[in-house]
Amino acid sequence: MTALFAGLTSGFAAESLSDKVWTWGYMLDRTPSACPFVDGKTSWSIENEIEYLGAKKQTFYMNSIFNSKYARKYFPAWDEECFANCINSKLSDAHFRKLAAVRDIWCGVEHGNYLASAIKIAELSLEHKNIKGLNFDDFNNGQPETAMSPAELRELREAIHKINPELKIAIVTYTHLSNVTPYRDYVDVVSYWCWKARHDYWDNYAAEIAKLRRQIGPNKTILQGIYIRDYGTSDMKSPRAMPIDLFKKSILTVRAALIDGTIDGVIIPQAGWFGAPEHREHIVFIKENLR
């Protein structure tokens, strides 16, 4: 492990990698507050993560993926503050004012309401010019609310392009689900995630990305997702911080892949965890190695 780190951290040309960092998270109207997928309360809203990492080029704004019906069905234990301080004000002018300095905002489309929410985001993009794309989280992950055929995605893309032909589409896929070839003509960005904490994924990283590249072709944007929280070990029931040795390995592997052009960007989710003491070493390591 030490030899790997030494090899990855030496000899790189001085350049800003923060331009290739895509932040990810929720805007909170008041802090400290409960936040989706964060234990307890947090004082970190998405704009705080953007400022801390100096990553002002692009962000995934995730408030808009939820409606109350979906959230209460799948996450019944959520604190009411998740609704009052986050979900209920999704896509508000107040949120976009706070993100005015971000060049590209990618808004999550609403689970179980893809077409209508996509059209709403497209209409908002005519007013808020830094809305550049839509993001489909957990795309086709087995839940009925996330299911979408290639024909349905094509129809949605055509619908938003009637409103704003410049809008792009991103999808989230996982190593254990990925077969995005049928969708390649209708997506612009694919973010790739390894749900389980696995050393072998990072040991064979070049082959993993080559497999994805064969599916989507040479001209699509590939982003690597990095977990700070180890959701996959316990299916989100009692998550812990990602083991620090594996986390550092993932960051340094991604750093090398960004520099050599294997991938186009990295996603760091989510803002709400940045203030947790058990993640302090993680976020400092991010800042030191992706800038």
Mean pLDDT score across all residues of the chain: 93
- Per-residue model confidence (pLDDT) at position 176: 82
Pick from 145, 139, 143: which is nearest to 173 by CA?
Answer: 139
The predicted structure's pLDDT at residue 179: 85
The answer on pLDDT for 11 being more than 50 is no
Q: Tell me the two tokens of residue 70.
A: 């979906």
pLDDT at 144: 86
Answer whether residue 12 is part of any domain.
no
The whole-number pLDDT of residue 131 equals 98
**37, part of any domain:** yes
The answer to whether residue 4 is domain-embedded is no
CB count, 10 Å around CB of 280? 12
C-alpha count within 13 angstroms, C-beta hemisphere, residue 18: 14
Does residue 247 sit within a domain? Answer: yes
Q: State the pLDDT at residue 15.
A: 61
32 and 62 in contact (C-beta within 8 Å)? no
CATH value at residue 207:
3.20.20.80
Q: How far apart are CA 139 and CA 109, in angstroms?
A: 11
Question: Does a structural domain hold residue 158?
Answer: yes
Assigned domain for 59 exists: yes
Buried b (16+ CB within 10 A) or exposed e, 11-43: eeeeeebebbbbbbbbbbbebebbbbbbeeebe
The single-letter DSSP state of residue 87 is: I
Is residue 275 predicted with pLDDT exceeding 60?
yes
DSSP 22-75: EEEE---SSSSEE-TT-SSEE---HHHHHHHHT--SEEEE-GGG--HHHHHHH-
Per the model's pLDDT, the better-predicted residue between 120 and 5 turns out to be 120
Q: Is position 11 within any domain? A: no
Please give the pLDDT value at position 81: 98
Contacts (Cβ under 8 Å, ≥6 apart) of 181:
215, 216
At 104, list the tokens.
Answer: 């590209």
Give pLDDT tens digits for 180-219: 999 999 999 999 999 999 999 999 999 999 999 999 999 9
Does residue 131 sit in helix, strand or coil? strand
What pLDDT was estimated at residue 154?
98
Q: How many domains does the chain have?
A: 1
Domain span holding position 62 = 18-289
pLDDT value for 145 = 87
Q: What percent of the chain has pLDDT over 90?
A: 87
The answer as to whether 104 is a domain residue is yes
CB 31 within 8 A of CB 77: no
Burial code (b: 16+ CB inside 10 Å, e: under 16) for 159-172 equals ebeebbeebbbbbb
Please state the pTM of the whole predicted model.
Answer: 0.92
Please report the pLDDT score of residue 14 as a whole number: 46
Type and span of the H or E element at 192: strand 189-193
pLDDT tens, position by position, 27-82: 999 999 999 999 999 999 999 999 999 999 999 999 999 999 999 999 999 999 99
For position 212, what pLDDT does the model report?
Answer: 95
Give SS3 for 173: strand
Q: pLDDT digits over 75-110, tens only? A: 999 999 999 999 999 999 999 999 999 999 999 999
| DSSP single-letter state for residue 109 | P
Length of the chain: 291
